[in-house]
Structure 1
Amino acid sequence: MGQSQNAVELIAIKKNFNKLTLFEDVNLQIPTASITGISGPNGSGKSMLLRIICGLVKPTEGQVIVFGKRIGIDRDFPTRTGALIDTPGFLPGYSAAKNLQILADIGGKIDRSRIEEVLTIVGLDIKNQQPLNTYSVGMRKRLGIAQAILEEPDLLLLDEPTDSIDQAGWKNVYEYLIQLKEKGCTILLTSNNLDEITILCDQAYILKEKQLFST
């Protein structure tokens, strides 16, 4: 874990997109070992904010600090970070387990028992050999969450993780997120459901009208 009290700091972040200002003067401090949620209408910039934290997109103005390192200056991408943003680039002709095994083989640190563990957490069966192109949207979202937590990250960024997942499924996911927090993981997630965020998160925000507001 980082030594700073805050795992993530956003300082006066502004993002212009297609000649429009998506948001501006966004300031946020995310304490280590906490769950933070951001709600807001579609198109308000929630996903873009996560991309900026990941280093996938540069802000027009402002600074992002993750574990004490300035993203885009000290390093291009934050370390020890798992993310579910947009649709992961899985191989549609392979099963969920095979896709995770391919990812695990790249890093060389994950064994089959961990793959089985994360699939169980999100409600998927490691023995299911159906290819991903037969999966529902909700099942693919579950696999995306499994991919994000596979290497037990210190920072977890999840863009609408419960979208298209049934109530039983998102309860399992949220219970696991609480367990991760208790182990020291810092979690930032977005959702269109403000009530959901308010119940789960230690701090909740709304991104609207180009500004980030605390609830």
Structure 2
Amino acid sequence: MRLFVLLLFGIHLTFAGKHSLKYFYLSVSGDDDEFTTVGLVDDRQFIYFDINTRKALPKAEWIMRQNQEADYLDRQTALMIHEHNWIKKHVWIKSAGVHTYQLIYGCEWNDRTGETNGFRQYGYDGEDFLFLDLKTEKWISSMEEGFNTQERCNNETVRLEYWKYYLKIECIEILKEFLQLEKSSLEKTGCEGRYASS
């Protein structure tokens, strides 16, 4: 009985509090043309993509537990190939030499308070380039080189509305779904207690 209580307590510890869904994109210009993406739920990797394999690969068992998740991987593959092509066409065409382009986006949800947060930000050569401020609902650049991009993005109202919706609503729904899939997977494999203590 005591072990059962400890296991239930472990599940609660694992899935209570602040949660996050994040995607990291990294592109490197030059002859090698590198492009990789990593997806994380609560800072644990669940998906990986690089331009050499051209396929989003699951890095956690739970992502493949239901048929619709295979569709998710196909959609992510298409999205990442599109993003890679967009960067080559719009970013690297204007850049000589070797440079890095980073993108991080996602959301956070606190299951105790209900508080949510979303973020989407770009970096160039390791420095902040552009981010979406959801409080002002504006794109903001902290460097002079990004001011033209900031103005153009703020004028693209359809794109701005999409990202506001995605980060405030859709991303949170996906995060909750992934947390439930992960929790169900742990319960089925009997790893709750071990996982919570790791």
- Give the TM-score normalised by the residue count of structure 1: 0.27
Instruction: Identify, as 1 or 2, the structure richer in helix.
Output: 2
- Give the TM-score normalised by the residue count of structure 2: 0.28
